[in-house]
Structure 1
């Protein structure tokens, strides 16, 4: 919905603002919930420990889950990039999208980021508030 000069029209602005507010509200709830669900040694392994499905049905559901998770990640990443120039929490949305996507080196990137004190301290603060043990992170 662009006008003659390539600018966003008012209805489009309200749609973008509404989606932005919904993503923001969802992130306020989802991010702490996810941080609390992770085990304290989640970032303490050299490589991601893969859990393999045991039955044919669970393999099917696992594949469907991976595809849906990556589609959601790509959507969040796209929305986040758009929110860098539109109203919204662009960086937070990009980080959510990247966390949902599967790509080579993702776990090493996560470990590297979490090992930084300015990221680890807020994560552990959230975990303490939720009654969970701090993350154990060893650099290697």
Structure 2
């Protein structure tokens, strides 16, 4: 059975896959630039991000609920990004945003590594430039220290 025969035999499935793909493409075109331009330019400077646990101390139940919702949204974005690698949409950027939304150990180092890849950083900075934002800054004194640690025998 060829692909055309399969599509003709499963018209309803084909229609819904095409509709979902078009909707996700449209949503991605709107949401990804919106999120990318809101990342602070110095988001990746420094070894660690300062802890922000005021809400956790004031209301642990609300904090846990928000953490669960945030991680669920992030996981859905990562899965949608994976699907968009083969469907229309900005899969890589959607996965990056999903990772940025989630919380997990080693997240900051992973984010920095992922965004520092040439094509990814170039695309993010091109979107930021189009909306009048300054490019992401990835270098800092502590990154030089990181490289010195790696180079040292």
TM-score, normalised by the number of residues in structure 2: 0.67
Unmatched tracts of structure 1, length 5 or more? 1-6
**Alpha-carbon distance, 1:43 to partner:** 0.6
Contact persistence 2:83–2:91 (CA under 8 A): no
**Alpha-carbon distance, 1:47 to partner:** 1.5
**Alpha-carbon distance, 1:90 to partner:** 8.2
**Structure 1's 81 and 35: CA in aligned 2 closer, same or farther, altered over 3 A?**
closer
Higher percent of residues as helix: 2
Q: Which has the larger radius of gyration?
A: 2
Paired position in structure 2 for 1:101: 102
2:54 match: secondary structure: coil
Unmatched tracts of structure 2, length 5 or more? 1-6, 147-153
Report the number of matched residues. Answer: 133
TM-score, normalised by the number of residues in structure 1: 0.71
**Alpha-carbon distance, 1:37 to partner:** 0.9
Give the superposed CA RMSD.
Answer: 3.0
Paired position in structure 1 for 2:116: 115
1:43 match: secondary structure: coil
> 1:34-76 deviations in whole A, cap 9, x for unaligned?
111111110112123231234635x444332221122223334
Contact persistence 1:81–1:90 (CA under 8 A): no
2:42 match: secondary structure: coil
d(CA) in 2 for partners of 1:37, 1:73: 16
Q: Which moves more between the two structures, 44-53 or 23-32? A: 44-53
> 1:14-36 deviations in whole A, cap 9, x for unaligned?
22222222221111111111111
Contact persistence 1:44–1:137 (CA under 8 A): yes
